[in-house]
Amino acid sequence: MDLHLANFDVHRDFRGVMTAILNVADQSMNVFNESVLHDLDELLRAVEHDPSVKALVFRSGKESGFLAGADLHVIATLNSSEAAEQICAAGQGLMQRIQALRIPTVAIINGVCLGGGLEFALACRYRVVIDDPRTKLGLPEVELGLLPGWGGTQRLPRLVGLTAALPMLLTGKKVGAKEAVKIGLADAICKREEVDAKVADLLAIHLSGNPVDNYTEDASFKLGPAIFGLFKGQTGHKDGMLGWLKDRTRLGQWAVKKFTQRMIGSNSKNYPALPAIMTAVSAGLHDRSGKGYAVEREQFGKLMMTDAHRSLLGLFFQRERARKMETWVRGLEAKPRRIRKVGVMGGGVMGAGIAHWASIQGFEVVLKEVSAELLDAGLGRIRDLFDESIRKHAISPADAATKIGAITATTDWRAFADVDLVIEAVTERMDIKQAVFRDLELYCPKHAILASNTSALSIRGIGESIHDSGRVVGLHFFNPVHRMQLVEIVRTEQSRDEDIAALVEFVKKLGKVPLVTADSPGFVVNRILFPYLDEAVRLHCEGVPTEDIDKALKRFGMPMGPLDLLDQVGLDVAAHVADSLNGLSAEPSPTGERLHEMAAAGHIGRKSGQGFYVYSQGGKKRGKAVANTAKPKQMSMDDIRDRIVLRLVNEAAKCLQEGVVPEAWMVDLGMVLGTGFAPFLGGPIRMCELRGFGDAVAKLEYFQKVAGSRFTPSQWLIDQIEHHTENRTL
């Protein structure tokens, strides 16, 4: 067999076992593109016509992972449902050819195996996963407003059952190596050096000359043997009899689907991929005529044309764009200097979170506090975060112990003598921060970047406390650090391009998304978020019920209501932010005073047991809303939503008008990643594009008349009406 493939390195051993190693050229990660699909077709054609091949093993030639799925730049070019269905049909055809091979196929999965990559692995007879925290298997198409289009909605439920498959399909959940074996998604797990032996074990019966039945994708139990197994207490299901009943009987599957449809019901309108996935899964669960694959193709084509998909795909590309150096710094001749050692000043919630995450990502970390007692408390928080990382299989217990042990904890400034970057995370008071930075200038090396994690205070004001104010920048992480993707990098007029470039690289190595912003009150996210929260508190002060305010915004698509969010952040913290941002409002606001009153009474939200709501179990369980002392006021859900959301939209436009960030997509990305702004809308500016800038301006003008001058439309929004009308005309 003479194969010359651009993306596969193919060889065959003395047993007739062919190994195809995928290594896509000019890509950091393997993806399906036209060239790979062509090579796979050629490879399958050769195997189909060569009886001397006894088994086919697929491996990755990249350390980054097995296969990350389809090239999304190709997906973005599809401009019709028909074109999308054709792509599905081609992919489904290749996967069905793999499944139909007369020989056993094995996928050796290291690192990421996502989307089309997992659909490819599902078509193989066996899946072997490498025992490594980096090994992740998933079908994240729902995060792009799509469904798996190469058989994922058909094969996965049949293989692992509905109770394991639906969370992966409907939420994009990714499973690690051990869980993959537990749910039946993988057949074996081993260390990297044990792969050859494990494959030999799997293929032994096939290579012994004793034929076995061809692989069938129907992994359901036959009714008779399964019932017999129940009496013997051996169902073969990971969750015993109940699991078997739910996953392998028609009645159980019906119940699981009904329950799931109720769970996703409220989100189905905003995320049409959810009901589409259920439709495709239901069509194929018991059908053997191929109807399920046809429904999968049809649903994929419909989803491709939805606004939700286009918005979510746009956000994906925006994340990629934000990670590129040239987006933020241009004309830099030298490569950004490498940050190796990070000092963290302050072991509170944010400081501990930053130290934990930087350590996990391989940076040397020095944590400093002003006293041994505070230092011990900070280390305790870090240990708790590592424990959580272990539970979620993000790191092994041995690696966690090593990294915790490598964190230098000190009260001595001398430990900062060789740091490359210091991140200050102390109390949100200008005088305290300025005092810390005076010490940092004294004890840190000249090349070290001095960054503040402040959420709202002026970086310029902090920098005025030292001789070289150009060294001071903002590096604003969001809480909780290990979960939030966004990091704002705040530059002043004195900031150096090389420092900003180094921080962009640092944020990328943390696995997060950088957003470079000007030094404006609240930067981007908090500045835009504050009017949103302010309007919610104003409505509360007017007597609108707490639950109505939060319910209206949850229905809009926010992950939680604004008053619930304030309780989560802490009303004491929110009060300080309100003080910093009050000057931006066109009218005096009652928000700061109300939050200070609540904080002074000890009612600061979840961490105290009471805020706008009452909490139990250490703040974990939310109870009823605290009675509102204002005279009750009834307002429609639409009016509540519009008043709050339009304040946010108007402030986003003002940020663009003032040049806080130069482009609208930066605002959208920041608000989605930093606040959870309804992703299916793509961000506040994208939402206006979809619904019309004229509509937003008209509603603002209405509320300006009935509620106050704070709703005066920004000039930027008004200008967009004419601009987008011209574009539509063209």
The reply to whether 488 belongs to the active site is yes
Residue burial 284-321, b: 16+ Cβ < 10 Å; e: rest: bbeeeeeebbbbbbbbbbbbbebbbbbbbbbbeebbee
The reply to whether 476 belongs to the active site is yes
Predicted local distance difference test score (pLDDT) of residue 219: 40
Predicted local distance difference test score (pLDDT) of residue 730: 33
**63-66-68-69 Cα dihedral, nearest 10 degrees:** 150
* Amino acid identity, position 19: T
CA pair distance 684, 45, nearest whole angstrom: 50
Predicted local distance difference test score (pLDDT) of residue 209: 67
Residue burial 656-680, b: 16+ Cβ < 10 Å; e: rest: beeebbeebbbbbbbbbbbbebbbb
Residue whose tokens read 């307002």: 635
DSSP 383-402: HHHHHHHHHTTSS-HHHHHH
Among the listed residues 309, 356, 476, 576, the single catalytic one is 476
pLDDT, mean of each 10-residue run, the chain (730 residues): 86 94 92 94 96 96 92 92 95 97 96 96 97 94 97 96 95 95 96 94 82 48 36 52 80 88 88 96 88 96 96 96 94 87 96 97 96 96 95 88 95 96 95 97 96 94 95 96 97 96 97 97 94 96 96 95 94 85 78 93 93 90 91 95 97 96 98 96 96 96 96 96 60
Predicted local distance difference test score (pLDDT) of residue 218: 47
Q: Which helix (H) or strand (E) holds 207?
A: helix 195-207
Task: Give burial (CB, 10 Å; 0-12/13-18/19+) of 348.
Answer: middle
CA pair distance 715, 111, nearest whole angstrom: 49
What residues have CB less than 8 Å from 9, skipping those under 6 apart? 20, 21, 23, 61
Predicted local distance difference test score (pLDDT) of residue 210: 62
DSSP 649-690: HHHHHHHHHHTSSSSHHHHHHHHHHHH---GGGTSHHHHHHH
DSSP 250-268: HHHHHHHHHHHHHHHGGGT
What residues have CB less than 8 Å from 8, skipping those under 6 apart? 20, 21, 22, 23, 39, 40, 43
Predicted local distance difference test score (pLDDT) of residue 1: 60
167: left (phi over 0), alpha (psi -120 to 50) or beta: alpha
Among the listed residues 30, 60, 465, 526, the single catalytic one is 526
Rg (CA), the chain: 28
CA pair distance 558, 676, nearest whole angstrom: 6
Structural domains present in the chain: 8-218+249-305 (3.90.226.10), 336-519 (3.40.50.720), 526-659+692-726 (1.10.1040.50)
Q: What is the DSSP letter of 70?
A: B
Interval 97-140: pLDDT, tens: 999 999 999 999 999 999 999 999 999 999 999 999 899 999 99
The values of phi and psi at residue 714, to 5°, are -70, 150
Distance from the Cα of residue 26 to its chain's centroid: 26
CA pair distance 345, 339, nearest whole angstrom: 17
Predicted local distance difference test score (pLDDT) of residue 241: 74
The values of phi and psi at residue 89, to 5°, are -60, -40
Strand partners, 344: 367, 423
Q: With beta carbons less than 8 A apart as the criterion, state whether 612 and 564 touch.
A: yes
Interval 306-340: pLDDT, tens: 999 999 999 999 999 999 999 999 888 778 899 99
Among the listed residues 488, 505, 535, 689, the single catalytic one is 488
The reply to whether 526 belongs to the active site is yes
What residues have CB less than 8 Å from 367, skipping those under 6 apart? 343, 344, 347, 351, 352, 355, 375, 378, 379, 382, 407, 408, 409, 410
CA pair distance 158, 242, nearest whole angstrom: 17
| Cα atoms in the 13 Å half-sphere on the side-chain side of 564 | 18
CA pair distance 424, 437, nearest whole angstrom: 8
Q: What is the DSSP letter of 111?
A: B
Among the listed residues 30, 359, 455, 650, the single catalytic one is 455
Predicted local distance difference test score (pLDDT) of residue 244: 76
Predicted local distance difference test score (pLDDT) of residue 620: 83
Q: Which helix (H) or strand (E) holds 444?
A: none
Q: With beta carbons less than 8 A apart as the criterion, state whether 640 and 544 touch.
A: yes
Helix (H, G, I), strand (E, B) or coil at 155: helix
Among candidate residues 671, 723, 655, 663, the one with its CA nearest the CA of residue 694: 723
Angle separating helix axes 525-541 and 571-581, nearest 10 degrees: 110
Helix (H, G, I), strand (E, B) or coil at 550: helix
SS3 of 306-359: the string is: CHHHHHHHHHHHHHHHHCCHHHHCCCCCCCCCCCCEEEEECCCHHHHHHHHHHH
